[in-house]
Amino acid sequence: MSLSVDVACDAPFAIDATFEVRRGRTLALVGESGAGKTTVLRLIAGFARPDRGRITNGAEEWFDAAAGIFAAPHRRTIGMTFSRGALFGDMTALENAMFGPRAAGWAADRARARALEALELTGASALRDRRAATLSAGETQRVALARAIALRPHVLLLDEPLSSVDVHARAGLRTALSAAMRATDAATVLVTHDPAEALLMADEIAVLENGRIVQQGSSADLRRAPATPYVAAFAGVNLFTGTARALADGTSEIAVGDAAFVVHGAFTGPVALVVDPDAVTLSREEGATSARNRVHGVVDAIVPDGGAVRVAIASVPPIVARVTAASAAALALAPGVPVYASFKAGEARVS
Amino acid sequence: MMDATPRGAVTAGAQLNARARARDLAVGAAAIALATLFGAFVGLPLAALLVRLPIAQLADMMHQTIVLQALRLSFETTCAAALLTVLGGTPLAALLTRDFRGRDAIASLMTLPLVLPPVVAGLGLLLAFGRAGLLGRFLDVFGMHVPFSTAAVVLAQTFVAAPLYINAARSAFSRTDRELLEAAASLRASPVYAFARIAIPPALPALAAGLSLSAARGLGEFGATITFAGNLPGVTQTMPLAAYVAAQSDMDAAVAISVVLACASYGALLAAGALTRSGRQPA
């Protein structure tokens, strides 16, 4: 059973996307804002009609341009979350989660039981009697997720579930999202512009640029042979996960395995850390820079990337630096050469 | 001590200030005078009705058959018209919030009865539902005669007054967040279910306010009613018609009916205003 999408539109802007997601798997649909990510999601949901193509979910045919088939949104077994939440503000969290089962004609007590189960799964049980309009962005997304999975849809469409959420709440919400995806065993399409979100939660990544999918594959595939500069930048980031502890001077220390990195801002608990390879500098001696974060290891691989080279270092944790060919030559970098890689606290983005 | 401002400048400034203040006062006084005059112009006829109200005989007056009949008929027809308006006007207003070609033309057409001379409305109704009318000739076959019946009164009131409700509903529905309707659709809600659960609850105060206004307009309906439904006591003679008839023979009765009508309409307007205000407050 899988969700199979092949859609093309000419207006309001051109879309051409083809992909398949098996149940239990997650595809991240990534791209810059305006690339058409949300539009593709809306086409799958049935809020708009593609000009050409076909959308099927297992044996269910949701759209077929050639056959003139178009299933209305409420006939498609989807669960969807919206970037701004789109909760029903005057209803409580529980009433929001009950909406789907009630709309599907379930009796109130059965709908209630299922809604409570869904809220439990997304860690939103304590919010059940709160009016949705009074919830924070993170709480809103938890309730929205519970609402989306209450009917155990076979297709889960998540539109930027973390973008409006405070970084402090993101790790917890990522855990809730993963739990929800596992529990529903749905084919999930996750729209995001955040590499951390895509790399941590998706099995596969499809990159949209100007409405077209320019590349699709695992994060390793995308890193190995990026089709465009955007793909290279997106998939090529250094991503670390660890546990943060706020320090007294307005910075935080993040324990990543045996290493520890310092970042600006006060963070506590599990976080993801994104460091652009361009922000990583290399040196042969230990004290060459004032950057607070430093790892040591031997060069693992050197790959040309535009006018620069990507240097993968077998440090703990492993890190990738992007340096000019000239400085690579000056440092006499070659596989097996020991180097220090460092980056400033201000260059690391907590997500 | 140093005085930075020359003495003459202070005096000139003060004079300028005094002149400006005098001008402001004059403009303010003129505005208040005009407003008072206009208020009196509107209030005077209403006051005259109250002054002329035969309070001593009021109880007897209200028991006259003509008054009682008209009172009952007006109440019944207004309620029936309100029911028709809600039943047909709500879905119409809902559909008119969607985007489609010709929407604005249809919306304007649905508002037209509001500004049409009521006699023209009555004539149109007669030519549509009358014995030889467009639809009436078919109704006639089944033995249904709409004109000059109580049903005609209800149709006339609905035709003329419904736009007030429809426009209020349209404006309330247009404030619905589309994304919420989409969220509902993603949760298996049919368009009708989604609309009933998501769009209607926040619109209820505005709908009630619009209904109050349209009921007040329907209650006062005269021209279309007398043209299409006639003036038959107990059958089509509503309060406005009864007041008109009474005014030619029994001034006391005419005044009594008029005061009752005015009070009922005033009540409906007050209710509409209160409902509108309550709807604007954040829930």
b vs e for A265-278, b when ≥16 Cβ sit within 10 Å of the residue's Cβ?
bebeeebbbbbbbe
Quick one: how far is CA B181 from the chain centroid?
A: 30
Q: In sequence order, what DSSP letters do the residues of B162-180 get, joined into one string?
A: HHHHHHHHHHHHTTS-HHH
- pLDDT classification of A26: cutoffs 50, 70, 90: very high
Residue B12 pLDDT: 67
Residue B283 pLDDT: 41
> Does A123 contact B at CB distance below 8 Å?
no
Burial of A339 (0-12, 13-18, 19+ CB in 10 A): buried
> Out of B182, B188, B201, whose CB is closest to A103?
B188
Residue B1 pLDDT: 45
Q: How far is it, in rounded angstroms, from Cα B186 to Cα A96?
A: 13
Residue B282 pLDDT: 47
Which phi-psi region, left, alpha or beta, contains residue A36 (left: φ > 0; alpha: ψ -120 to 50)?
left
CB–CB contact A79 B190 (8 Å): no
- pLDDT classification of A72: cutoffs 50, 70, 90: very high
The partner residues of A271 in beta bridges, in order of sequence, read: A242
Residue A287 pLDDT: 73
- pLDDT classification of A303: cutoffs 50, 70, 90: confident
**Mean pLDDT within A308-317:** 91
Residue B2 pLDDT: 47
Chain B partners of A99 at a C-beta cutoff of 8 Å? 184, 187, 189, 197
Q: What is the ipTM of this complex?
A: 0.86
Compute the 3-state secondary structure of chain A and give helix, strand, coil in percent, each to the nearest 5. Answer: 30, 40, 30
Q: Which of residues 172-211 of B touch A (CB under 8 A)?
A: 177, 179-180, 182-191, 193-194, 197-198, 201-202
**Mean pLDDT within A160-178:** 87
Residue A166 pLDDT: 83
- Tell me the nearest-neighbour CA distance from A156 into chain B, angstroms: 10
The DSSP letter of residue A123 is T
> Does A73 contact B at CB distance below 8 Å?
yes
Residue B222 pLDDT: 95
Per-residue tokens: A277 = 């390879």
A220-237 pLDDT, tens digit per residue, is 899 888 888 899 889 989
Q: How far is it, in rounded angstroms, from Cα A103 to Cα B197?
A: 10
- pLDDT classification of A86: cutoffs 50, 70, 90: very high
When computed from its CA atoms, the radius of gyration of chain A, rounded to whole angstroms, is 22
Tell me the CA distances in angstroms from A169 to A111, A122, A126, A141, A204, one per residue in order: 28, 13, 16, 11, 24
Ranges under pLDDT 70 in chain B: 1-13, 280-283
For A151, phi then psi, to 5°, come to -90, 10
Give me the residue label for tokens 């009921």: B215
The partner residues of A216 in beta bridges, in order of sequence, read: A206
Chain B partners of A79 at a C-beta cutoff of 8 Å? 186-187
Question: Would the pTM count as exceeding 0.95?
Answer: no
User: Residue B212's closest CA among B265, B278, B281?
Assistant: B265
Per-residue tokens: A237 = 């980031």
Per-residue tokens: B119 = 């006699």
b vs e for A106-143, b when ≥16 Cβ sit within 10 Å of the residue's Cβ?
beeeebbebbbbbbebbbbbebbeebbeebebbbbbbb
Residue B208 pLDDT: 94
- Strand A2-9 versus strand A78-81 pairing type: unpaired
